[in-house]
Amino acid sequence: MKFYYDPASSYCQRVAIALYEKDIPFTPIKVSLFDPEAREQYQKINPFAKIPTLETDNGEIFFEACIIIEYLDRQFPQQPCLLNPERILEIRTIERIIDVYINSSREVLFADSQRELELRGKKEVIKASRLLEIACSLLEDRLQDRTWLVGEQFSLADCTAAPTLTYLRLVYDYRHLPNLTNYMKRLESRASVARVQREGRIRMNQMLASLAYPLKLAPLAVAR
């Protein structure tokens, strides 16, 4: 099974967490989307030229991080079960909230952080910040009495949350939300998440160093 990815990509990290959680053997293939020749080759596998993509030993191709994780969960039923059928709607809802409201808003805030100061904070940025706050406080409430986002079992929702909440700290400080902050700390001490963070760190630091307006990950405060 071939996994086309970049170690710093948050969507790829979602899948890598699932692969490591289930201890699934795979062949990692780094994709350089900035190299026009490599990009053209890769488009034969994924016409959208987006990472991640999974190619099975039978030549089946899967893209979209959440679909790849669903495929892995079906094919490799060993623990942890990432899409527990009894909690499936809640798992999918949280995955959507993270992808649509948190990740998209994060992208808007990131783009804004790279504009000249006088051009920042336009309407779309205010709207994105509002959606981000709503989504983060929803997660904060859910995490009131849970270890992971959908209860005591690590799920697709957590595979999605870990990279997104890590990169979110570049542009949005959520340390005023203690449940979310403590949850992020639990994620960081989980082996699969610590591993993808370690593997993505060099590329991410290179990316941060090349920004017009450098950004830093806010450290996780000790939450009460």
Ligand X SMILES: N[C@@H](CCC(=O)N[C@@H](CS)C(=O)NCC(=O)O)C(=O)O
> How far is 20 from 25, CA to CA, in rounded Å?
9
The four Cα atoms 77, 79, 81, 82 give a dihedral, to 10 degrees, of -110
Judge if the upstream peptide bond of residue 36 is cis by omega within 30 degrees of 0: no
Residue 10 touching ligand X (CB under 6 A): yes
Which one, 146 or 201, has the nearer CB to ligand X?
201
Which one, 90 or 99, has the nearer CB to ligand X?
99
Among 51, 139, 196, 204, interactor with ligand X by CB under 6 A:
51
Residues 196/13, Cβ–Cβ less than 8 Å: yes
Pattern 84-113, ligand X, x by CB under 6 A: ------------------------------
> How far is 165 from 160, CA to CA, in rounded Å?
9
Among 1, 24, 29, 33, interactor with ligand X by CB under 6 A:
33
Q: And the tokens for 82?
A: 């990432």
Q: Angle at CA 22, nearest 5°, toward 146 and 72? A: 100
Which one, 16 or 177, has the nearer CB to ligand X?
16
Among 16, 17, 54, 65, interactor with ligand X by CB under 6 A:
65
Cβ of residue 119: shortest distance to ligand X, in angstroms? 23
> How far is 89 from 166, CA to CA, in rounded Å?
25
Among 3, 11, 42, 167, interactor with ligand X by CB under 6 A:
11
Which one, 8 or 139, has the nearer CB to ligand X?
8
> How far is 104 from 97, CA to CA, in rounded Å?
10
Which one, 69 or 177, has the nearer CB to ligand X?
69
Among 4, 16, 62, 64, interactor with ligand X by CB under 6 A:
64
Q: Which stretch binds ligand X (CB under 6 A): 4-12, 16-24, 73-81, 119-127?
A: 4-12
E strand or H helix that includes residue 140: helix 123-142
Cβ of residue 16: shortest distance to ligand X, in angstroms? 12
Which one, 97 or 177, has the nearer CB to ligand X?
97
Starting at the earlier edge strand, list the strands of the sheet with 2-5: 27-30, 2-5, 53-55, 61-63
- Give residues in contact with ligand X (CB under 6 A): 9-11, 33, 49-52, 64-65
